[in-house]
Structure 1
Amino acid sequence: MSSSEIKPDAMSAVELLSPANATVVELNIGGQTFTTTIETLGRYENSLLGLVFSKLNNSSSVPLLRDTRGRFFIDRDGNLFRYILDYLRNDTLTLPEKFSETRRLIDEAKYYRLHGLVDELQTRQRILNKYETRAKDGLTTKLYQTSLNASDDELKPEETDSNMTAAGSTSGALSVGASGVSGGVGSPGFITVGYRGTFAFGRDGLADIQFRKVMRILVHGRVSLCREVFGHSLNESRDPDRGSVERYSSRFFLKYNSVEQAFDQLTKSGFQLRASCASSANGTSVASDTDNEETRWMHYTEFIFHRE
């Protein structure tokens, strides 16, 4: 079909998806790759990205770092940059339910000099702080309804229940209309933690069995719960679905290899161990080329945690 055969409404859709003046660019933010356009990055002219990439569009001599594949490199948090990029694309703030890294995202917004985003995040943080303070003081609230335009004086509980305890109040719901943030804190659910590991051996005659060697700690459960508990230590790079936070995923893993650290975070969030299971070690392995002491002791273990 030639361009003359494209209907007017279809032509407008094509122009919307592929603007004629758009320049595609690849970014490497802390090891994570993003693809966008220079026009998106330069949406706010006075922001750091706007200043840098507006010059890039007019000059090839801008001193920006590049990685080994030629992508522009910025040494910042790649997990949080996706929210920065969403804000640049949509001109609005949309965060997942029970988002627990508001303070860190404020730091990122300040670094990129996105003052409007900083204001929205700080307002959201004030609302959350008031909610947490009321919970600690014993004034429990089932539901807060407000918006980012509401003043501190307008933030009032719509419904209270004197029979609820302060600890139980953390399961209340919080809705922030303009920010797209809703949901409660401390909701019930299950999280499964699993790891594949072995034992590290020293050379013969020099050392006995050392502490276990953990390859990777896997996390399975509802996305909102996993993010609430593990926060920035949750690695989501292998999870291709960035949809609803109420979905379930088995593709998360942790950025550290200490199982006890994961247990500490679960305990602090009110979870209790309910069950565990483990596979036996590969003690009968006879593969001559790959057989060694560590592969013989390879095993997989899972722990199931629950919060009521």
Structure 2
Amino acid sequence: MSRRARRLVGVCAGMVAVGLLATGGALAPPQRPVSEGDGGGEVALGAYLHYGSPGVERMRKLSRWLGGAEVRAGHTYLPGDTWTNIEGAPDSLRSWARWREAGADRMFVLNVPMLDHNEDRVPDERVAQRLRSGARGDHDHHFARLAERLVALGVPDTVIVLGWEMNGFDYTHRCRPDPENWKKYWRRIVAAMRSVEGQRFLFDFAPNRGPDAIPWTRCYPGDDVVDIIGMDTYDQPPGDDFHEHVTQPYGLGRQVEFAREHGKMLSYPEWGLFRNGDNAAYMRDMLEWIAEHRPLYHSITDYCPHGVWQCGRNPRSAAVFRKFLSRSDHEP
């Protein structure tokens, strides 16, 4: 998602977990080791509609617009401005937790920054320093606190989209300045969050589509600390059309292959229109790709210029989206 639209303001562990964090020892295996898709279950439709409580209200309205199709994946972001917010301070989390608890088949998807000042254009040298600090465990307590809050709110099964778009140039939590310490830091975060009693989190590794600043495979932290291979993908370069989005290096095709090789589920936490405007062909192609490959969930970024319901600029694409997803079986 674009930086300008997502600027939101912007347990202590048991002795065994502490030992693992201190020594960098092996972690528990993934909690839900599955292959592509989610065992043949229905793909969860989601949309990013607003980061706070208004997003919860809009979920029901989007469902009505889709003829009653259930929007099962509630998707929001923690602000990356301060550690307090990364620890889960925003009051809107309570609204999302109540929404999640109201439906047994619902899914709460939360993007979690790995560092504060995440959109402040921090230079590479400073990013590398901060990644080394994270790899040493200096920030473990922030993520243990977040995990405690999520469990206390009744959403211990939250999908955590951690350090999203790490292969890009912009976010402070980017991987390129020090890939090895980035991976070590991811592992520490997962260990800290899994150390909290009652948690059942799923961790979603979600790069940008394409090569970007660094091949996203160089940032992959290991099968034992990743449950889902996601991808953020918009109708924009690299790639002039959807076929190139699939076949380009580190594109959609590589994502599917990588997930299959590693026994992971797929997801699309962010997708939508962009550089090519109201592109009904892209909308149809992406929805058919999702129907074919059956990710755990997908979430369209629904504001201008990316969206179809809250953005009136894209009527042809909106018609495709609405017709496709209003069908009870969600098939093309």
- Between the two structures, name the one with larger relative contact order (CA 8 Å, sep ≥ 6): 2
TM-score by length of structure 2 reads 0.24
Task: Specify which structure has the higher proportion of helix.
Answer: 2
Instruction: Tell me which protein shows more strand as a share of its residues.
Output: 1
Structure whose alpha-carbon radius of gyration is higher: 1
